[in-house]
Amino acid sequence: MNEADRRLLRQSRVRLVGELQVAALWDALLNRELFTPDMIEDIQRAGSGSRRDQARQLITDLETRGSQALPLFISCLEDTGQETLASLLRTSRQAAKQDPEDPSRPSQGKLAPVVLGPEELWPAKLRPEVLRPEAPRPVDIGSGGFSEICAQDRAKGNADLAYVLNADPCGHCLIINNVNFCHESGLRTRTGSSIDCERMQQRFHLLHFMVDVKCNLAAKQMVQALVELARRDHSALDCCVVVILSHGCQASHLQFPGAVYGMDGYPVSVERIVNIFNGTGCPSLGGKPKLFFIQACGGEQKDQGFEVASTSPEDRTPDSDPEPDATPFQEGPVTVDQPDAVSSLPTPSDILVSYSTFPGFVSWRDTKSGSWYIETLDSIFEQWAHCEDLQTLLLRVANAVSVKGVYKQIPGCFNFLRKKLFFKT
């Protein structure tokens, strides 16, 4: 869907959610192949399953159903007697075409998605480089003083300040590593991801987690594996970790941005992944930290950064061969399923989602040494997890990744933890 149609849907969202008669639309949406039966079922289950929740989810998913999604949806409205809404969208769409936005006008912070070809995504020149393993690691960003160490020790032992991770093992860690994708998906093999997987498997084993690795899962299999993990009894455990290594894309969202692809080319939104572990879906993890680490692109934009003091020559390795874990915000048959955003998060506490890159931007992976984010995450955890809390560790990761390469990348997180988290080392 182009940006103009997407903007129109968002502008009309309140009225559509308020008036849309979704029950009459299902057959029309299927007949015009806007959605598959499975997608319709997912929309019908959205939120509480009320008409408003279903309408809200339908409008959210419609945005990424291809370049003809809006005119086809208008036709569905006409077929089901919802002429008032059809006329509203049709008239507004025609008006927008007659008076398009001036390209020279400021975009008010919105970036239109650009579909890039392989030559543009992976240029032969100007390749970003990954930090060599022998290069010096980032310097300590803390003061390192005695008072700081004492404060950390006090926080670890105080249940009001830090989560208690006394169980051994601490909890489950599920790693989903998607390397090979079906030909129809149009997605490249993620060479080097197995290195990331091995790093995370060893790291979380050392942090006293029970690690389970699943490779090359289709979208439905990813959801099934996550649901099975959420349904386990975590009563005797103190934490839960999910690591996802895959291609990713932009996605409409209400809470957590982005989506990750199954090997079949169908995306699963980060929102849906997180919501599987909410208080309703996973009550035995209530009040316990649930951590998600996402190595995938947030979009197709490549950040060339801004000029600062000289970059260390160690940051440039001619022999490295990095690739983006990106796929554009696509319009057309490749993206045949859409992110499944849940309309609300009943218990938004005790959740942290760590992204390898800023929403909308490429996340770089070296084919020989793995992704920048996972390589750095593993190294930082190895050096500092024994004495620093998770938030401080992730600041170190962001700082270290931000200085890599010709193109730039900076990890970040959505943090809804209530306390500090110190891993069991």
- Asked whether the predicted pLDDT for residue 153 surpasses 70, the reply is no
pLDDT, position 132: 35
Q: What is the SS3 assignment for 348?
A: coil
Question: What positions carry a catalytic annotation?
Answer: 247, 297
What mean pLDDT do residues 65-80 have?
A: 88
Would you kindly state where each structural domain of the chain is located, as residue ranges?
Answer: 3-98, 127-416
* H, E, C per residue of 111-127: CCCCCCCHHHHCCCCCC
Q: What is the pLDDT of residue 119?
A: 38
For the chain, the first-to-last Cα distance in angstroms comes to: 48
Q: Give the DSSP H/E element, type plus range, for residue 209.
A: strand 209-215
In CATH, what number does 127-416 get?
Answer: 3.40.50.1460
pLDDT in tens, 294-350: 998 744 444 444 444 444 444 444 445 566 555 443 333 333 333 333 333 335 679
Q: How confident is the model at residue 156 (pLDDT cuts 50, 70, 90)?
A: low
Over residues 193-213, the pLDDT tens digits come to 999 999 999 999 999 999 999
pTM recorded for the entire structure:
0.58
pLDDT digits (tens, 9 = 90+) for 22-44: 899 999 998 888 888 888 888 88
Domain 3-98: give its CATH superfamily: Death Domain, Fas (1.10.533.10)
Alpha-helical runs (H) found in 214-296: 219-230, 270-275
Alpha-carbon distance of 404 to 385, in angstroms, equals 22
Distance CA 46, CA 17 (A): 13
Q: Alpha-carbon torsion 389, 390, 392, 393, what sign?
A: positive
Look over the chain and give the mean of its residue pLDDT values, rounded to a whole number.
77
Q: Is the dihedral of CA 291, 287, 238, 225 positive or negative?
A: negative
Give the Cα separation of 371 and 315 in Å (integer): 14
- Which DSSP state fits 331? -
pLDDT exceeding 90 applies to what percent of the chain? 40
Give the mean model confidence (pLDDT) for residues 57-61.
86
